[in-house]
Chains A and B, each alone.
Chain A
Amino acid sequence: MTWTLVAATLAASVAAGTSLLYAALGETLGERAGIINLGVEGVMLVGAACACAVASSTGSPYLGMLAGAVAGVVASAPFAYAVVDRAANQLASGLSLLFLGFGASALIGNPFVGALIPPLPSVSLRMPLGEGAAAVRVDFLVAAALPLAGLVAWLLMGTRWGLRLRAVGENPVAAFAAGCNRRRLQYEALAIAGMLSGLAGAHVALGVAYTWAEFMTGGRGFIAIALVMFARWNAWWAVAGALLFGAAEAAQLQLQAGGVDVSPFLMNMAPYLLTLALLPFTGKAGRLAAPAALGRPYRGVE
């Protein structure tokens, strides 16, 4: 592997990692509030479809991005109601959300199959490595990714809201006794998570693929969930994880472009297998970092 290839891979991993990071930051917030959402993939698909639909019909990628964010919140609403107010099983509700996303995105995106989607405007930053044309395409969502991670870290660890949110995720009964409004906090966390997942989908559509295809997010939502565990429910670690998993996806594209003679189907497995291979390294300390009430429906009084 030459330096040029390394530089190109790094550059591409930023684009691939951005959507992972948005989804993972959202999922981090939700899981810190005690709610595991397996439906991230579905919300991303709805975000991507709505972003395509709006960007294609208005011609404005920024409106498309906004639509993706709003759609993410709307799509998450039934899930939020089921798990927050109806104490439904979170895994089953998350899968229902996944199906909702599969179906709704196929319906919304159908008229836009093959349509021309205006991409998010971007500037190219040349990589200091190698002599090729490797450059990082920085669009609005890429540029906002790091500040967003900082914002989420601050919200969680530096504000009273975050403290209460974490209290709800650790021990909702005690949090209630201390005067936290569990319902409201969980709805807020899930709304932000939905928005970020919608943006993640929007970036896949407007920042990477520039088109709509059914199931186009290809399991990134699931990788994002694994990434949250890998990052120990920490926003900054999520950045490192997103770059790593983004690199796995990017490396495969670069190798294919570089004419390496390995079946593309085998290389496409790389991100999933890497995720599986890295999960054990979360370690015992990592598993202890999990919010104590994660995945448990609230059974207390209110």
Chain B
Amino acid sequence: MRAPRWLDLPPAGAAVLALALFGAILAAAGKHPLQAYYDTATYVLASRQGFTELFVRMGPLVMTALAVAIPARVGLFNVGGEGQLYMGALFATGAALYAPLNGPLLLAATILAGFAGGALWALVPALMRIAGVANEAITTLLLNYVAPLAVAYQIFGPWRSPESSSYPQSHRIAEAARLPSLPTTRVHAGLAIAAACLALCVYVFNRTRWGLEMRAIGANRLAAAHLGLPVRTYLVVAMALGGGAAGLAGMAEVSAIQGRLVSEVSPGYGYMGFLVAWLAAGNVSRIVSMALLFAVISAVGDVLQITQRVPYAVVNILMAAILFSVLCVGPGARRR
């Protein structure tokens, strides 16, 4: 069956449709969607805190989107950004607390450890994939549930700070291990790291042999192998780099925002990053605009939680509505 032509909306139309759908669902639940959208607009555009918070959120969203986009380049599905982010946060905290270093070296070790944590967590699914034993989509998803447990184990156990009796968290990390922030805001150097990583990806993807070879592998793995490309190495490295990107996002949450390891490192950045990358559809520079869109969506979630006492998780409906709109009615749906 062919869907009717009027369903072929431009992307902006899909977004409006999604907002309308979400509004209808909220209204059906007895909430006030128009008020929520209005509150979000004023919070984001007219308040200093709301506006700067967008940039706080865009950093991790860009990084977790890269965690998906880099493996996607070679045809792998990394749905484990959330777990990789938690592992990055865990490793970074470990380095910040226990590495026998001082000054900038300690910060460097923290950043590297964050990257390594995420990369290692992505390595398991990558190796299982090239060994041909399991699809990476399902293994990365399963590992999302393990990483937060590892974090919880550390902050309830060995790393628990004695000053926190009711709300478990780790010891504070040293000042030297903190990423710098802009004065009087929560905007931090993680955003600069994200911008640098994004620029590096754009350069590598479009201007280097590696980028070309990755695209060849993503387009036709068998043909690439016959050309003599080291396909397995590319698959593993791409996955590990992706995991490392998500790990850096976790590192920044610990090092810049919290200053210690807490149980809720991320409000689902890993999952949102998947959607950001998916909507950017392989176009790395579009990740920026999509990350901004999702930063705004998560602001909708905050506003709903605060003003209308709706659980934050409800904002997931809006994300699903946007995705389904794009999948079902956008021009992408007719990609053949």
Contact = CB atoms under 8 A, between A and B. Distances in A.
Given A92-B327, A222-B142, A107 B1 contact: no
Interface string A77-98: 0100110011111011101111
A98 to B, nearest CB: 8
A102 interface: yes
A179 interface: no
Interface in B1-32: 1, 3, 25, 29
A214 interface: yes
Interface size, A (range): 35 or more
Contacts of B132: 287
A276 interface: yes
Contacts of A163: none
Contact of B323 (A92, A265, A302): A92
A244 B157 CA distance: 29
Given A91-B77, A106-B313, A214-B313, A299 B327 contact: no
Given A91-B77, A103-B318, A106-B313, A279 B128 contact: yes
A147 interface: no
Contact of B319 (A103, A106, A215): A103
Interface centre among A107, A272, A282 (most CB of B within 10 A): A107
Given A107-B29, A214-B311, A263-B157, A99 B319 contact: yes
B311 A95 contact: no
Contacts of B274: 95
Contact of A102 (B153, B313, B323, B333): B313
A206 interface: no
Contact of A222 (B124, B138, B150): B138
A96 B320 contact: yes
Interface string B318-333: 1111011001100001
Contacts of B77: 91
A265 B160 CA distance: 14
A59 interface: no
A198 to B, nearest CB: 17
B157 A82 contact: no
B311 A82 contact: no
B142 A226 contact: yes
Nearest to B133: A280
Contact of B311 (A96, A110, A226, A269): A110
Interface string A200-243: 00000000000000110011001101100100000000000000
3 tightest A-B CB contacts, nearest first = A103-B316, A103-B317, A100-B320
Interface of A: 38, 78, 81-82, 85-89, 91-93, 95-100, 102-104, 106-107, 110, 183, 214-215, 218-219, 222-223, 225-226, 229, 263, 265-266, 268-269, 272-273, 275-276, 279-280, 282, 287, 299, 302
5 contacts: A99-B271, A103-B314, A103-B317, A223-B142, A272-B143
